[in-house]
């Protein structure tokens, strides 16, 4: 989104227009525009995750295993809407 916004900034689009097109708050676009003015498009590129990973490698592996088992393994034979909320053992 920020990179698309940069293209529109270069084209002279208003903050209000960019916010409406991207369906974000005008304050976000204002911050992006300020960063863009100070550092160009490069300043709008992602700098990676803002928080530490919450799951360990072992937890990710378990999650993947459970997802592969599918809904029937957890008693969801009819309704395919399910989560892993009940899988804590």
Asked if the structure places residue 84 within a domain, the reply is no
Asked if the structure places residue 50 within a domain, the reply is no
Asked if the structure places residue 36 within a domain, the reply is yes
Asked if the structure places residue 28 within a domain, the reply is yes
Asked if the structure places residue 69 within a domain, the reply is no
Residues 6 or more apart whose Cβ sits within 8 Å of residue 74: 82, 84, 86, 87
Asked if the structure places residue 49 within a domain, the reply is no
> What is the band of 89 on the pLDDT scale with cuts at 50, 70, 90?
very low
Give the residue numbers spanning the domain of 36: 2-44
Domain count, the chain: 1
Q: DSSP string of 34-87?
A: HHHHHHTGGGGS----SS--SS-HHHHHHHHHHHHH-GGGGT-SS-----STT-
Asked if the structure places residue 11 within a domain, the reply is yes
Asked if the structure places residue 38 within a domain, the reply is yes
Residue with tokens 């969801």: 76
Task: Report percent pLDDT > 70 for the chain.
Answer: 88
pLDDT tens-digit series, residues 46-77: 888 888 888 999 999 999 998 888 888 877 77
């Amino acid at each position: 989104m920020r990179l698309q916004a940069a293209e529109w900034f270069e084209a002279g689009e208003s903050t209000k227009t960019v916010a409406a097109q991207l369906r974000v708050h005008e304050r976000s676009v204002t911050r992006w525009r300020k960063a863009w003015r100070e550092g160009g498009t490069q300043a709008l590129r992602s700098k990676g995750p803002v928080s530490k990973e919450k799951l360990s490698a072992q937890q990710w592996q378990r999650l993947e295993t459970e997802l592969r088992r599918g809904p029937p393994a957890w008693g969801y034979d009819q309704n395919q809407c399910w989560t892993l909320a009940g899988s804590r053992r």
